[in-house]
Amino acid sequence: MDEEQEAIYQSGYQAYLSGESEMSNPYFGLDAEFWSDGWEDAKEDTEIQAKKQS
C-alpha cells in the first residue's frame, strides 16, 4: 500500500470511529476498497476491545 492508499485507509478507519456509515464512502474503484477496509478494520478493532472489556 502506498502513502496515498494508506491515507485513504486511515480516512475510512477514522470515519467508523466518528460514527459514519460505511455507505458514506466518498471513493470509487480501488480507492473505495481501501476506505472500506479501514472502516471494517476499525469496526472489528472496536468489537474486539468491547469483548476484552466485558
Residue 49 lies in a domain: no
Residue 12 lies in a domain: yes
Residue pLDDT, tens place only, 21-54: 999 999 999 999 999 999 999 999 999 999 888 7
* Assigned C-alpha cell, 39: 472502516
Provide the number of structural domains found in the chain: 1
54 secondary structure, DSSP code:
-
User: For the whole model, what pTM was predicted?
Assistant: 0.93
Residue 14 lies in a domain: yes
Residue 3 lies in a domain: yes
Amino acid at 41: D
Q: How far is it, in rounded angstroms, from Cα 1 to Cα 41?
A: 15
Helix (H, G, I), strand (E, B) or coil at 27: coil
42 secondary structure, DSSP code:
H
Collect all residues with Cβ–Cβ distance below 8 Å to 26 and sequence separation of at least 6. 35
Domain range for 34 is 1-18+30-44
Residue 24 lies in a domain: no
